[in-house]
Structure formats: structure tokens, C-alpha cells
Structure 1
Amino acid sequence: MLSLSILALSSANAEKQDSKANVLTLSDVFDIEYVGAMAVHPKNDYVVYERRALDIMADSTRINLWQLNSDGSNHRPILSGKTNYRLPVFSPDGSRLAYVSSSEGDNQLYMRWLDTGQTARISNLAHSPSSISFSPDGKWLAFVMFTPGKPSSLAIDMPKKPKGAKWAGNATYIDNLAYRSDGAGFLPAGYSQIYVVPSEGGSARQITQGDYHHDGQLSWSQDSQHIIFSSDRHPDWQRRPLESDIYQVNVKTGDIRALLERAGPEFAPVVSPDGDKIAFLQVDDRKLASQNAQIYVMNSDGSQVKGLATKQDRPISNIQWDNAGKGVYFSYDDHGKKKLAYVDLNGKINRLNASLGGQSLGRPYTSGSYIVGNKGEIFYTQANSQRPAELALLASNGETKRLTRLNQDVLGPKDLAKVRSLTVKSSVDKRSIEAWLALPPNFDPEKKYPLILEIHGGPHAAYGPQFSLEVQLMAAKGYVVVWANPRGSTSYGEEFANLIHHNYPSEDYNDLIDVVDGVIEEGYVDEEQLFVTGGSGGGTLTAWIIGKTDRFKAAVVAKPVINWLSFSLTADGYAYFTQYWMPGMPWEQVDHLWKHSPLSLVGNVSTPTMLLTGEQDYRTPMSETEQYYQALQLRNIDSAMVRIPKASHGIAARPSNLVQKVGYILAWFEKYKPEQAE
């Protein structure tokens, strides 16, 4: 058994690594803050944003609302304390601020009058609201809320329970295809519906009906009579995991009319400022594992659909109209970075000088958000390899300025790992494979360092030169850390991403080994101290790697897919995975799925391996981890299984679980470092 006191181990080894370095430790995780959702005042020159902090007492993320002028002045709290205040939305005239708060126990809608600071609860909801949107006339707030339905049942002739008998309880009867979801568990009967509530308070009124989910982004018509939304209202929606169309619902009558029905998903509709047009995203669904959305615009009645940005071979998201209604801003992922662009109604695209990021704390995934100001400026979360998301401004003249320094008190005194890029040629086909390195504090190129290869999940996702607590903590312990975007990664085009379509894992293994060799060639890595880890798809690749090579001294396989046959019939998204990730139903593709399963290679493994998964993970269920652990045990391979409590697939949702995850990974690797390396 591996006995650990993780916080103490981190501090002790940090001192051992360099007595002069003030390095990041696991206990510092609880002091991190970052910027979340934002709202721009419609008339005045300031922004309200979610100031998010990792709460050591509640073991969660505490969310308060702060405001800040565009020049960086007047930075102060609006709503602050232990209670969460989130999802700020200004009224169209700028006199009020709506938000969601749990100040009275459950999540409710509140309104703040900005001239007096008075606040009032304006809802009495049974479930949490989301997708909040003010009507243009300021009289209504629209939102999405789960609405319970009647659960399925099947009558059985149970005998009468004797008085005083202690039976086990009633069985749960399930007959839906979608019956559980990662992060939510087993799903109650019901659907997400659209509601409106008077902005001055009152009873919420449900305006959509039917056995369909009506969630996602809401946008009002200019006359405040209709709400535009996307949904799949097909009777067989459960078996169509990507489909959605664009509808409008009459707020008074509840009448729903389809504005656009096409094959594939149309989603994220946004009405233009004058109400004449609707911009939206659409995917040309070809049943590929990775598919990029494109930007379209149509008249408000659904006529004259026109493509604005239909040849952008990059993942596009977060479309927003400019204030004049002459074009649309959007973010897109390119070479491991989230960037910002603008397209006018003639399809002319202008790339903007802003790099978004910082909202993925644990690992260096692409992330970030932005919002358009009332004078054409853009507030955004700034990407920085040394800091989580800070608020920054892109002025109308193209100049950028960072407005906040939320972590200067915590990270300023620390000796953080410097991050730099590395590009290698794949040994498979000479494609360029991008990677990034974190070098330990006080790095000396004349020394030899242990190396950790950290692999991203997805598998269709992208790492980049972003701040990462996990990477920084690993580097603080004296490791060179390398992360890469092998084939299958997004942000390089659909062709590159789909090189692993129905072929995963495969040559992405070669790309990763090429990256490791590229770092070794630089001369400061000890080849006898190579370690490998990754989560989700990265866990799958980690298990695949140690089935192919014994070069790594130890491995940590986090929340993996080990056996595609079992995964396909136990994961929460099985309707999607079997249609998009697999060439056919699993019972028809046994040989194919087994060929790509890391479990098929377990007979080759000699690397000491730790398995690490959340106990409530329904995306890559614990049964995947247990299969691999038991196979390793049967083979007498040094192995361990770590089960993270109260964790779904997103282990880092609780700060203490993020700490445990990194702590166990580092402790496992320390156990297998050669004695002479101390």
C-alpha cells in the first residue's frame, strides 16, 4: 500500500528540490482566483464579472460579483461573501442587474437596483435557473429550468407490507435511452423548459411544453413577443444526440414555430440589435468524431439563410453581434490557442489581437470567454501561461490591456515554471506536432531532470500554452513537464482531428513518443526518469503507451477507457459514442473495438501503474478502471487504484479532489524515481 500525507509530502519535496526557490505547493491551490462570466453595462463604461475563488472550507468554487471600469479603475465588489452570486445580466436600460444567488439556500433569481443598491428576490423556483435573458422592453426575464415529469412505471402485484416490516424500498423502473449523465447521476423524469418571470418579481410561467429539452442559449425578438431557441423536438430525439433546429415561441400563447429545420444541428441563435436577423452556428453532420461548426445568418422569419464564415476549418463558438448589427464576433481555437475574430455581413473576416484563456485551472486546455462593450471595446479573459484568467480589454484601436491581477498576492512571490513551445516532426508522416514545455523553477540546462509526459483527453480537444495548476505543481517538484497536441487534437482542422476517426488509439502514440524524444534531444532530461500520465482520452493513451513500450518508469492512468466494448454499453453518452466514435454497434465490431482497447495490450505491461478515477464518474465508468487494475493485479504488476470521493468525470470540480489527484500522481512517480536522483 502507498501511504501518503499529500500536503506534507508536497512541502517537504519542494524544499528538497531547491531550498532557495519559493515554489508552488498543493496548499496554494485553495488561494487561486479567476474571472468567470461577464456582463457589460449597456450605457456606462464598466463591466461586472464573476470573481471565482477556490473555497477551502466549502470545498467548492465561491462566486462573487465585482465591477471594474474599462480603464481598470473603480475595481470593487457588488455582491460578495460566502454566498454564491453568479450569471449577471443587465436590464436593457442599465438601471438593474439580475443575477442568481443561493443566499436563501436554493438558487433563485434576484434583482439589484443600481441607483440605490436595493436587492429583491424575484422568483420562487423549485430548481436552479440558467440561460437568463432580459426582454428588450425590460419587463421580463426568460430562463431555462428543469421541470419534473411523471416517471415511467410498471404496475406489479406486490403483497401488502406487514405493519412494522422493514423492506428494502421501492425498485427504480427505467425505460428511457438517456437515463443517467455524468455529473448529474441517474436522471429524474422531466425536461428542461423555458420560463418567463416579471422583472419586478412574480410567478414564473412555463412557456414551452412537451417531452423535449429546451435548454441552451435564449434570444428575444426585438418586440419582446418571442424567444428564439434551439432544440430537437423530434419524437426520436434521444437517438439523435447532435440534432437540433431553431424555433421561436410566443411568450403570451406558448405557440412554437420552427424557423429553420435542417439536417444536423443548428444552435446558439442570437438576434441582431435591430431584430431583423438571427446569427447561429451549424454543423454539417457527417457522423465524424470531430466536426466544426460554422456561422450562418438568416432573416428573423427564418428566410434567406446565408453563410458568413463557412470555410473556417477551426472550432468556432460564442458568437455575438456588434452594436450596429453589421457583423458578428466569434471565438475559435487555432494551434492550441483560443482566438477572437469578427465577420461582417459580406463574409469578410478580421482576426483580432486577443488570446483568450485561463478558465481551465487544472490542465492547459483551450478556454476563455469575452463580451462586447457598448463602445466597441471587448472585455475578455486573457490567456497567460503564468496566471489563470484575468480580465483584459481589447480597445477599438486594437490595443490590449490587462485590467485585473487577482492572483498577484499568491503567485507573484512564487517561482513558477517557465513555459515554452516545441515542435517536432511525426515519425509517421512528417506532420508537425506542437508541444509545450514547463521547465522547473531555477532550471539549469546543465542538469538532468525527470520528465512527465501529460496527455490531454477528448480525444478531440486541444492543449496550449495556458496556465495549469497541475503542470505548475509537477514542475515545482523538479520535473520537466511536456504536453502536446498529437493527431486527433482540435484547432488544426478537421482532417488532422479525424486522422484517428474510428482509429483511436493509433499513430497518436507515435506522435507522443516523438515529442518525448524531441525533449530528450535537448540534453537536460534523464532518460532513466521518464513518467507518463493523462486523464480521460489521455488516460486511454497512457494505458496504450505502457502496453507498447517499457520506457516509462511509472504511469498514472486517470479516468480511462480501457475496453471499448464495455465502455460503449456503460458510458452515459452511449447513443453518441456508438454512432460517432465507432464504425458500428459494438456487437458487430468486436474485433475492431478490441484491437483499439488498451486492455488488449495488458499482457505486455511491465510499468508500475496507478489507476485514478472519480467514484461517481459515468463518462468513463469506474468499471473501466477496475478491469485494468484487476488485470494488472492478475499479472503481478505493481499497481494501485485510487478512487476519488464525490467526483464525477470532472475530478477538479472540488478543489480538494484536484489536490488529491495531483498529490497521488506525484507521490506515485516519486516512489519510482531512482535513488541517485535525490
Structure 2
Amino acid sequence: MGYFSRAKTTVFSGLAIVSLGLSAMASANDALLDFQDVFNIEYVGSIAAHPNKDYVIYERRSLDIMADSTRSNLWQIEADGSNHRPVLSGKTNYRMPVFSPDGARLAYVSSAEGDNQLYMRWLDTGQTARVSNLSHSPQSVSFSPDGKWLAFVMFTPAKPSNLNINMPKKPKGAKWAGNATYIDSLAYRSDGAGFLPSGFNHIYVVPSEGGSARQITQGDFHHDGQLSWTADSQHIVFSSDRHEDWQRRPLESDIYRVNVKTGEITTLLQRQGPEFAPVISPKGDRIAFLQIDDRKLASQNAQLYVMNSDGSNVKGLVTKLDRPLGNVQWDRAGDGLYFSYDDHGKKKLGYVNLGGKISRLDAELGGQSLGRPYTSGNYVVGNNDKLFYTLAKTQRPADLASLSKGGATKQLTQLNLDALGSKELAKVRSLTVKSSVDERPVEAWLALPPDFDPDKKYPLILEIHGGPHAAYGPQFSLEVQLMAAKGYVVVWANPRGSTSYGEEFANLIHHNYPSEDYNDLMDVVDGVIEEGYVDESQLYVTGGSGGGTLTAWIIGKTDRFKAAVVAKPVINWLSFSLTADGYAYFTQYWMPGMPWEQVDHLWKHSPLSLVGNVSTPTMLLTGEEDYRTPMSETEQYYQALQLRNIDSAMVRIPKASHGIAARPSNLIQKIGYILAWFDKYKPETE
């Protein structure tokens, strides 16, 4: 039976508990990928380039089987791939490497002494020193140009609001329930963080040789994101929404400058819509930033602008590319800017000079989304404008590669040669179909089982991305590879609503989701079937988040799928809008009005409205700590299916928020339950 024998079940309080163990998950064929291999995977995280030498230090991330988490160590490698060696390695996490301006020191964050703190390493001697004593984890670490200071963002607690209710004195030895929690803020909980403590993110500085951290921003506002120093090391430029009604403006932000000594804040740019991610040029005379023309659309692409360092003379550089932009970095001379952008399911690199001329570079980034094949990737500008980036491949997670000025690319690492080199992995190829709705091209990708024979018939899994404004692509995916290793053909697609094809395509589902994206997905399934190697009686469907919503929508529209797994879905837009963590955003950008004003519209697009049509055996699967698509959405659908006597099950993943794959064991459990559910409905073989 491959990964599983038939699952043993125990009936307890009306719920079926499926017993899973790693020993049961092992493949009978050692050449095929199995669940144990998940813990052997490594990939490249963030990258820091030396300011005047041709090497980088990068986060080498691995999956820790004992801690059930991702471990990050720091490694060094030359631009030609030589001298690949550890800088800081072991069980402790070492993250966020940042070179000093002269390249003599390396700042980083580590939990070596318990809590996350800032450390400094002198690269000529290897000496290290702890340079902070912080109460919370630092983020967005940045060196001042003179090398004397480190700036960072840190959560700063504030006194929680409360009401005086004059509780009677608790008698000695009495065991009361505890203190109630009083909440009066709009943003009070967040997926992955839970219920939020009272406080704000503020900017701090600490001497780079160690000392006391000093808070330089004040007020009941969050000051976070990218920090950029002025050339004289006297000011820091950042983005924030310092409007008194910031909680009700989920996208707004402006660009400010704070005096490091006095804390005085100056507004540099204040426009309608968010301006964010400011970065000062090497000469200190200009600031590049991203801006969104906020039209309250569900999907809106950022555009790249530049202005003088005092906020004057704003000029658009990349305003017509019509693709999601990010990670803007100046070239070393300050004559232009590099940026990443998503195009047709791939993350690519571009360059624009100060005259607005755009060049597209020969590099495809990816490999940092291990679970599912989302677009991802990172890069950094090195010495002599050599670029270092995470390399995208269909059969490997992120390796490190370089791109020289002349356009020559070179792969520098092979981090998974040991773990995956002997494995027979699924081959991935592309497929494009025409939508039956309007003949738009819909792009998809196929993973074929490692021993694929075109003369045989295979079961097919349709895997649907979330977002819904996101993009899949030809990326490495543990979920896809493990499904293919089990003998399934797997197809994933970018139906209407997906990003990387322009705003018009993405917003075809604006206030209209789900809708014809269903037709696009069915067209993709039909396109695979037409190739002749899929058993039409063995079609399966799954997806997470927005993909879970579409999965539930699909089985309410058709009975062609043998079984379905609906992961972390939105089932009822009315309940979701008032229980999800981002309700201030969702009600403004995803809905045509407040939910109590749009009952008919929201119910029309809710999969729960179609539950009376469902006959497909369906499993629901959600993290128990999910606040993005709360467990109550899953429970509604499960209970509706049970009331209709549909073969159904509910899986609650422990210690998991919306990002189930954050813990390797939960990633394995997710894939394991999906495959076990589909195996349950496969025909018996002789």
C-alpha cells in the first residue's frame, strides 16, 4: 500500500481517530521519496553579500526532527562556488546576517543564550560578542553607514486598557478562575501570533560594539518594516501609518524620517494609498520606494518610484509593468535599481535605470516554499553588481546561484544532493489550456509519477492554490512530490484570480469569488484527461485556504471527483468576515460592503450554500490555532456534511496556525491524511 496500510480507526466520542506513524509512512521502494525524507531537506534562506569582496554569507536552513522546527545556520561561499564552509553552525539558530559597511564584522540574531539577541562577529578573528539585552526579538536589523550603530524594530509592551470593576479580595487559599481579558482594540489577534499583547513595534538603536538599546520612535503606532539609514548616519527612513485611525486603514502607510538623537519625526511623503519599503541610494541623495494606487481592489500591484532624499521630485520608474514587484535594491553606484517581479508563475529579476529604462535579467528565483509550489525567492546585490539569488528548480528546494554583469549564471550549491540525489523524483512539465468561459489561456503544471508509463492509466489529483490572489509555478514542492511518489499524476494551475498575469486577470474574481475560476480548473482537468493517461474514475481534488474554498465549491458543483480534502477553507463568507483575524482588510477589499449589508451576495459565493448538492466523500483539515480561516469555518462544513450523511471526516492539526507547514511533523501529517483519504476511495487492486 506504499505509505500506508489501511488506516486503523478507533471510534471515540463519535469522531474517527486515524493512527499515523512514521514507520507506516515509509515507502517500500527506497528510491522513492517518503515522509522520512522531509527531515533531510535543506534550503537557502536570507543572503548577505560582502560589501567589497566576492562572497556571501547565507542562512542554511534545515528541518530539525528533534525540535520539529526549521533550524538556521550561517554559511559562507565565494562567488565562484569555492570555500563553502560554516561560519556559525550547530543546534542554535543563527539568522539575519548583516555585514558592517567596511565588511570587517557580521551582525546576526541568535538564541544561543536563550532569547533572541543581537550578536557581532569579527570576521578576521572569529571572535563574537553579544551586543544587546532585549526583552523581545529584534527584526529588520540595519547597520549605520559609519558602522557605529545597529538599528532594529522590536515590539514594545504598553499598559493594557481595562475597566475597574472593584473585585472583592481573594481569600487566602482560594482557587478562582483567574483574571478576565479586556479587549477594546480592532486588531486584537493575528494568525501565527494568537491574541496580541498590548503594545507597538518601535525602532531602536544599539551601539554596534554593545550597550543599551535606545527607543527612538514613540506613540501608539507601529513602526516596522524596512529601515534605511541616511548617508550621515543621523537619520533613519521608514514607512508607517501614523494616522490616529490606523487600525481601520489596513493598507495605508507613508514615508518618514526619524532623527536618531532626538527622535524627531519628519514626514517625507504622504500620498493616498500605501508608500512603503524605502531604501536610500548609496550616495544618499535619493530614496526609492514602492507605492500602491489603492482602488480598494482585491489584488493591486505595487509600482516603483524614486524621490530626492528630502521627499521632493517624486518620479515613477516602474509604473506600467503590471506585475507584483518587490525587494528593491540599488546597484552599487546608485545609478539604478534591481527588483523582483512575478510573471507567469515565476519570480524574476529586473533592473531599471534612473531614466526609467527596464531590463529583464536571466534569472528565475524560487525554492523557498517547501510545502506547495508557490512563487518565492530571494536575492542580494553583491560586489561589482554580481547578484546572488535562490535558484528555482522543479526537483530541488532553493540552492544558491550567482548572476554576473555579463549575464553568466552559475549554481553555487547543491544542498540536497545527499538527500535527493538518489531519489527518483517526479518530472514536472507545463500545460496550457483555453478557458471555456472566454478562451483566456490558463497555465498549469503536471507532476508525473517517477515510473510514469504513458500507456497506463493513473489517478489524478487537482491541487489548488490559496490566496486566492497568489500564484503557483514550476517550483519544488514536497506535497506534490510525495503525491507523485504515491502513484498520482498531480496537476496545479493558475486560474483567473491568480497573480503574475496582470491586475485585470487577478481581479476577474474581485467581489466574484468563487466563480468562473471553477470553470478554469475544470478545463485544466479536462486538458490532462485528453492526454490519455488519466483514469477518469479516479479524480481527486484538494487545496488549502483559498484552494480549500474552491475545493468545497467544486464538490458543490460536480460529483466527478472520487474524494476531496478541503484544507483550512472559507465556507461561509458571512461568518468568516467577522471571525478572521484580518477582518478590517477583508471587509474593505474582498467584499462590496459590510457583511450585514451584503448578505445575499456573500451567501451566493459561499460554498456552504451548495452543501445540499454534495455527494463527494470529503475530509476537512485545519490547524487548531488558525485565526486566518478559523476552525469554525471547518466545523460548519463538517457538521453540515454529517447532517446530510455524507462520508466525511475532520482533521485538526495540533499547534498549527494557517501555515500548517511551519512544523515539519504537521506538514507530514497534512500530506499523510490527504493521501490516506484518497487511498481509502481508490479501487481495490487484485
TM-score by length of 2: 0.97
8 Å contact kept, 1:420–1:438: yes
Alignment partner, residue 242 of structure 2: 233
Q: Please say if 1:541 is aligned against 2:556.
A: no
Gaps of 5+ in 1: none
Tell me by how many angstroms 1:5 deviates: 2.6
Q: Are residue 109 (structure 1) and residue 124 (structure 2) matched?
A: no
**1:373 is matched with which residue?**
382
> What displacement does 1:2 show?
5.8
Give me the whole-angstrom Cα distance separating, in 1, the residues matched to 2:263 and 2:441: 53
State the partner residue of 1:448: 457
Residue 430 of structure 1 aligns with an amino acid whose one-letter code is: E
Letter in 2 for 1:10: M
In structure 2, list runs of 5 or more residues that go unmatched: 1-15
**Hey, what's the Cα distance between the residues in 1 that align with 2:404 and 2:89?**
29
**Residues 400-479 of structure 1: pairs in structure 2 closer than 5 A:** 400-479=409-488
CA distance in 2, matches of 1:385, 1:111: 37
SS for the counterpart of 1:218 is strand
Aligned to 1:263: 272
In the alignment, the residues of structure 1 paired with residue 652 and residue 606 of structure 2 have an alpha-carbon distance, to the nearest angstrom, of 22
Helix, strand or coil: the match of 1:88?
strand
Q: Is the 8 A contact 1:427 1:514 kept in 2?
A: yes
Conserved 8 A contact 1:7-1:663: no
Per-residue deviation, 1:159? 1.8
Match of 2:105 in 1: 96
Give yes or no for the alignment of 1:512 onto 2:521: yes
Q: How far 1:8 moved relative to its partner?
A: 3.6
Code of the aligned partner of 2:472: Y
- Residue aligning to 1:300: 309
Deviation at 1:10, TM superposition (A): 3.2
| Deviations, residues 564-601 of structure 1 (Å, cap 9, x unaligned) | 00000000000000000000000000000000000000
User: What RMSD in Å do the two structures reach over aligned CA positions?
Assistant: 0.8
1:440-468 C-alpha deviation (Å, 9 max, x unpaired): 00100000000000000000000000000
C-alpha offsets along residues 143-189 of structure 1, whole Å, 9 cap, x if unaligned?
00000001010110222212211100000000000000000000000
The structural deviation recorded for 1:9 is: 3.9
1:485-634 alignment to 2 at 5 Å?
Answer: 485-634=494-643
Q: 1:139 aligns with which of 139, 142, 148?
A: 148
1:548 and 1:253 mapped to 2: Cα distance? 62
| Residue in 2 that maps onto 1:5 | 20
2:489 counterpart residue number: 480
Alpha-carbon distance between aligned partners in 2 of 1:508 and 1:45, rounded to the nearest angstrom: 47
Describe the SS at the equivalent of 1:662: helix
The match for 2:129 is 120
Kindly report structure 1 stretches of 4+ aligned residues shifted beyond 2 Å.
1-11
User: Structure 1 621/35 Cα, relative in aligned 2: closer, same or farther at 3 Å?
Assistant: same
CA deviation vs aligned residue, 1:75-108 (integer Å, no higher than 9, x gap): 0000000000000000000110000000000000
Write the letter of the residue equivalent to 1:282: Q
Tell me how far apart the structure 2 counterparts of residues 6 and 625 of structure 1 sit (CA, whole Å): 25
The counterpart of 1:219, out of the listed 207, 214, 228, is 228
- CA–CA distance in 2 between the matches of 1:425 and 1:6? 43
User: How much has 1:372 moved relative to structure 2?
Assistant: 0.4
What displacement does 1:6 show? 4.6
- C-alpha distance in 1 between matches for 2:401 and 2:325: 21
2:182 paired residue number: 173
Q: 2:74 aligns with which of 51, 62, 65?
A: 65
Once the 2 structures are TM-superposed, how far is the Cα of residue 43 of structure 1 from its aligned partner?
A: 1.4
1:242 pairs with 216, 241, 251, which one?
251
Q: Any idea what SS the aligned residue of 2:397 has? A: coil
Alignment partner of 1:192 is 2:201: yes
Partner SS, residue 627 of structure 2: coil
1:645-666 superposed Cα distances (whole Å, 9 cap, x missing partner): 0000000000000000000000
State the distance in 1 between where 2:358 and 2:20 align. 54
Describe the SS at the equivalent of 1:100: strand
Judge conservation of contact 1:195–1:206 (CA < 8 Å) in 2. Answer: yes
Match of 1:217, SS state, is: strand
> How many matched pairs?
671
Asked whether the equivalents of residues 6 and 664 of structure 1 are also in contact (C-alpha less than 8 Å), the reply is no
**What secondary structure does 1:565 align onto?**
helix
What amino acid maps onto 2:162 in structure 1?
A: S
Contact residue 4 and residue 667 of structure 1 kept, 8 A: no
Instruction: Point out the more displaced range, 135-144 or 149-158.
Output: 149-158
Match of 2:400 in 1: 391
1:172 is paired with a residue whose SS is coil
2:499 partner SS: coil
Q: Give me the whole-angstrom Cα distance separating, in 2, the residues matched to 1:365 and 1:6.
A: 28
Return the letter of the residue paired with 1:456: H
Tell me the equivalent position of 1:205.
214
CA distance, structure 1, for counterparts of residue 451 and residue 624 of structure 2: 38
1:135–1:220 contact (8 Å) kept in structure 2: yes
C-alpha displacement of 1:7 = 2.9
Distance in 2 (alpha carbons) for counterparts of 1:43 and 1:8: 50
Distance 1:429 1:80 in 2: 54
Distance 2:213 2:670 in 1: 42
Counterpart amino acid of residue 22 in structure 1: A
Contact 1:544/1:598, CA 8 A, preserved across alignment: yes
Query: What secondary structure is seen at the aligned counterpart in 2 of 1:352?
Result: strand
Q: Between the two proteins, what is the percent identity of the paired residues? A: 83
Cα shift at 1:3:
3.0
For 1:30 and 1:497, locate their aligned partners in 2 and report how far apart those are by CA, in whole Å.
36
Question: What amino acid is the match of 1:265?
Answer: P
Mapping of residues 656-667 of structure 1, within 5 Å: 656-667=665-676
Partner of 2:679: 670
Deviations, residues 208-239 of structure 1 (Å, cap 9, x unaligned):
00000000000000000000000000000000
- Give deviations 1:382-409, integer Å, cap 9, x for gaps: 0000100000000111011100000000
Contact 1:330 1:342 (C-alpha < 8 Å) held by counterparts: yes
Deviations 1:579-634 (A, max 9, x none): 00000000000000000000000000000000000000000000000000000001
Distance 1:160 1:223 in 2: 58
**Pairing 1:314–2:329 present:** no
Distance in 1, Cα, partners of 2:442 & 2:50: 43
Instruction: Look up the match of 2:664.
Output: 655
Amino acid at match of 1:84: N
Q: Given that residues 53 and 62 in structure 1 are in contact (C-alpha distance below 8 angstroms), is that contact kept between their aligned partners in structure 2?
A: yes
> Could you tell me how far 1:269 is from its partner in structure 2?
0.2
Q: Deviation string for 1:294-328 (max 9, x for gaps)?
A: 00000000000000001110000000000010000
Name the amino acid aligned to 2:76: Q
CA separation in 2, counterparts of 1:49 and 1:134?
17
Task: Please tell me whether the aligned partners of residues 6 and 660 of structure 1 are also in contact (alpha carbons under 8 angstroms).
Answer: no
Please tell me the residue identity of whatever aligns with 2:18: S
1:645 to 619, 632, 654: 654
CA distance in structure 2 between the partners assigned to 1:274 and 1:637 by the alignment: 66
Distance in 2 between residues matched to 1:605 and 1:9, nearest whole Å: 32
The amino acid across from 2:394 in the alignment is S
Distance 1:222 1:316 in 2: 26
- 8 Å Cα contact 1:6/1:663 also seen in 2: no
Please state if 1:343 is matched with 2:358: no
**In 2, Cα distance between equivalents of 1:54 and 1:284:** 40
